Chains A and B, each alone.
Chain A
Amino acid sequence: MSKTQGKVHSIISNLVLVRVEGPVSQNEICFIRLGEERLMAEVIKVVGELAYAQVFESTRGLKPGMPVEFENHMLEATLGPGLLSKNFDGLQNDLNKMTGVFLKRGEYTNPLEDDKKWSFVPLAKPGDRVRAADWLGNVKENWLDHKIMVPFKLRGEYTVVSVAEAGEYTIHDTMAVLRNDEGREVAVTMVQKWPVKVPLRNYVDKPRPFRQMETGVRVIDTMNPILEGGTGFIPGPFGTGKTVLQHALSRFADADIIIMAACGERANEVVEIFTEFPQLDDPRSGRKLFERTTIIANTSNMPVAAREASVYTAMTIGEYYRAMGMKVLLLADSTSRWAQALREMSNRMEELPGQDAFPMDLSAIISNFYARAGMVYLNNGQTGSVTFIGTVSPAGGNLKEPVTESTKKVARCFYALSQARADAKRYPAIDTLDSYSKYLEYPEFEEFARKHISETWISDVNEARNMLVRGRETSEQIDILGDDGVPLDYHVVYWKSELIDFVILQQDAFDPVDGSTSMERQRYMLGKVLDVARSEFRFESFEEVNPYFKRLINAFKQMNYSEFQSEAFVGFEREVADILAERKK
């Protein structure tokens, strides 16, 4: 197919109008030639002969009349072994392959390695009937089994003609030959492409999530659990610890693959991941965290249009690993920056704006994106999942703004970060009572919890939650009526809720022990704390309540800082018991 040509007509910042000489399609990729440089752009609107293209680069020096060539395809991700441990930009350029300290305009690099050899083991044999996304073979990517699959773009059934023998191959070698019923043969390599804005739907079924995704963060796992294939979002004003929380999730979550989309956020935060992940051990496999991680870094100073692409690129890579039966955790920080990228472009196209000048279809775009997450049953009956947690940066900390509201409609878990908690240095600053996990109401999860955590887990969690609610109510009463204006019992109720707050909800993300808590330990500690909360105490006056509970909390906190069931842990546990014995009825 010959490529459509065109010429630059108009330039408004990174929106370029191109007069086209032939057919052009929506979302088609084109390259604008500026001297030696080729600038990549995506068509986002067509009016008559004019194609409106958003340029993924700076347009400085661009002039009307410069030649443009259209590529006949949409923005695509390149999928194959070698995606892990990589740092990509929003367009999937390998940032490490770029030359120089500064990003060069028009420099595009290969996301994979052309000549690296992978150790292939066949899984299919000649004569097998296969469909798109069926597994043909396996290569080891770091320690993970990376499946070589029937290309996602193929339609209908194929017969395997041949499969390569076990051995070392590059990504471009033919690993299998397939034939369809019309006799057309297709050679399959390890690498394939997929348009990032189109969901990958090569699975049999997408059930409701039911398995818990452990994160090691107590306020999430215990109070507001997220499930494998679930969706959640974290809105919060700046300075409330969104990013620290996301980093904790990426470190400790029980996932096979972590994909982090740093979308329009600070470069130094990405550098922190680049620097620390290669050193950090995966608590589950004992290997380096970096070996299971892919980072899509399109920081706030990188071109805005590529920022929009970055979340789609990340999701497509996530769906690719899901098709291999992996548990993928996708983190996007922050989806508000993505929405702002949409707003900038909509503004330049002079579209009629919706609320806060965001495009009218913002809500639909967000819900379509969240809908791509989920747990699926693959063609072979195995499961794979993409769990998605996005952060939202609400303008002015106001949760009534369009991005937060649109996200709230689709995400099942809501982790509300509170300025008041952050100010009081109560981290993670998730306000448990304002947050929710709809999964707590799922009968599927109730059954899972009964089997895998404890018989009474859900009711224990709800009990703790109720105590927090009562604690908040009594604290308001105390504030209004004064310490001595309320019954003594109010102080005890309040301090019981403070105990839950300090011991369960608050967690030191930077402490080697307290940073991540296993589900077993969470069950144990919640039981311990509830024991206290259910007990009756002897107090003569309200002035005794505060110091007593402070001592109790202090001993509990020392438990949190000690290795589970270690000597120190047991020692502090004994201290807790001693303090309890003083006043427990």
Chain B
Amino acid sequence: MATAFQKVYTKITQITKATCTLRATGVGNDELAVVDGRLAQVVKIWGNDITLQVFSGTEGIPTNAEVTFLGKAPTLKVGDELCGRFFNAFGEPIDGGPAVDGEEREIGGPSVNPVRRKQPSELIATGIAGIDLNNTLVSGQKIPFFADPDQPYNQVMANVALRAETDRIILGGMGLTNDDYLYFKNLFDNAGVLDRIVSFVNTTEAPPVERLLVPDMALTAAEYFAVDKNEKVLVLLTDMTLYADALSIVSNRMDQIPSKDSMPGSLYSDLAKIYEKAVQFPEGGSITIIAVTTLSGGDITHAIPDNTGYITEGQLFLRKDTEIGKVIVDPFRSLSRLKQLVIGKKTRKDHPQVMNAAIRLYADAANARTKMENGFDLTDYDRRALAFAKDYSNDLLAIDVNISTDEMLDTAWRLFRKYFTRSELGIKKEIADEYGHFED
């Protein structure tokens, strides 16, 4: 990759597992370099001592390795040719196809001026009632699945991506197992939508530090389609926990003082820089981010899900409901912060009240279940609430549901009528009159 007139350095003074340091002049911050044929990036300049983060690791690098600086930050060549292709973390094809020719853009570019953003207002329908009814998604939103590693988060995310009406889907895979990589590849192929999709994939076979480039690569491609082409772009990032783990590896090698859960003190800003790329542009283009943050043992107080929750506009929790034997979108712990912008406005007027009433009744059922488990007698109301909860879970919360929002609302009213009286719902009178169809 070195050209003739570039200065070649051959004296590395320090090597750690992820970084190496050498003396050099005229080097810029964030600049790319090639160390012994491997791509690296400047992460610290101390006088003439330059510290490089070597993406693929430093195994076998000698102190006299050749180092050249490329004079630029990491870039991606953008263009319509990206579509239907699979790339690695450096933006190089891994599908056997030719290299993409296009305009070269620096990744990790500047932020959108907040006053130039438009308020997100377009509903993204997925057919899954646990999402559309209770946690409606909006274009320009950023939202992760919080899921334990054994849950089918990649499948649900892929389903959402294929059902959502978007112009472009960008997949950023970090630490994907080869099986999952092939799952996505086959799924997109079979759905006949491959030409809408661009994928940047770092599999578990590749070194972990490389995956630090994946979100920026994916989002640079997303910005090309959303800004230059005014397209509605959906970005899928899986798994952000593995991304954060890679951050902690690098900061650790650089002797930074770790903060909570041995994560770098800048974790919040690092994650925010990625997630905040989600935006509704005034010209109609948008970037929506759906991510996956895997939890360990459902612990959301860990630094990664915790910081993520503060950045993203809600989160979607998957949970196995043992009573109906299906995976559901947990209505208590899931939240879409932007749903207020569309529910009852882009959807039917009774949507907000129906949603809240159903969740409240579901909570009553949870209390009744606790009572039952503790061996107490149940009241008539308790029994009705429990029966309602089972139907609600099966007919609406389960992830295999695929119906329109109006049908979801009608289903909810049907269950309300079946199990409860008007006054037990606590719904605004005019709404109940118009949509409730109660006999009394």
Contact = CB atoms under 8 A, between A and B. Distances in A.
Contacts of B302: 396
Contacts of A482: 371, 374-377
A340 B265 contact: yes
Contacts of B268: 264, 300, 337, 340
Interface string B25-50: 11111110000000000011111100
Given A397-B301, A543-B380, A103 B306 contact: no
Contacts of B332: 423
A449 B25 CA distance: 70
B276 A267 contact: yes
Contact of A61 (B30, B120, B300): B30
Contacts of A62: 28-29
A270 interface: yes
Interface string B108-128: 011111111111100000000
Contact of B424 (A59, A343, A550): A550
A100 B114 contact: no
Contacts of A561: 428
B115 A268 contact: no
Given A101-B227, A267-B114, A482-B376, A63 B26 contact: yes
A103 B112 contact: yes
Interface stretch (A7-15, A112-120, A139-147, A456-464): A7-15
Interface string B276-303: 1111011000000000000000001111
Nearest to A482: B376
Interface residues of chain B: helix, strand, loop or mixed (majority): loop
Interface in A326-374: 337, 340, 343-344, 347, 350, 353, 356-358
B315 interface: yes
B190 interface: no
B256 A275 contact: no
Contacts of B259: 343, 347, 356-358
Given A103-B112, A267-B279, A353 B257 contact: yes
What bracket does the count of chain B residues touching chain A fall in? 35 or more
Contacts of A243: 337
A238 interface: yes
Given A61-B30, A63-B28, A275-B119, A238 B310 contact: yes
Interface string B179-198: 00000000000000000000
Interface string A95-134: 1101011111100000000000000000000000000000
Interface stretch (B13-21, B161-169, B321-329, B356-364): B356-364
Given A267-B112, A268-B140, A10 B257 contact: no
A356 B260 contact: yes
B112 A357 contact: no
A410 interface: no
A103 B25 CA distance: 30
Contacts of A300: 268-269, 272-273, 276, 311
B152 interface: no
Contacts of B115: 87, 95-96, 98, 274, 297
Interface residues of A, number: 75
Interface in A477-491: 479, 482-485
Contacts of B276: 266-267, 299-301
Given A274-B115, A395-B307, 19 more contacts: A10-B45, A13-B43, A59-B29, A59-B30, A98-B115, A101-B113, A102-B111, A103-B110, A103-B113, A239-B315, A264-B268, A337-B268, A395-B306, A423-B332, A482-B376, A484-B377, A547-B381, A547-B424, A557-B426
Interface of B: 25-31, 43-48, 73, 106, 109-120, 140-141, 227, 256-260, 264-266, 268-269, 272-273, 276-279, 281-282, 300-303, 306-307, 309-311, 313-315, 332-333, 335, 337-338, 340, 352, 356, 359-360, 363, 370-371, 374-377, 379-381, 423-424, 426, 428-429
28 contacts: A11-B29, A11-B44, A12-B44, A12-B46, A59-B29, A60-B30, A61-B31, A87-B115, A239-B315, A267-B117, A267-B279, A275-B118, A297-B114, A300-B269, A347-B256, A347-B265, A353-B257, A357-B257, A357-B260, A396-B306, A423-B332, A424-B360, A425-B360, A479-B371, A483-B376, A510-B340, A510-B352, A554-B423
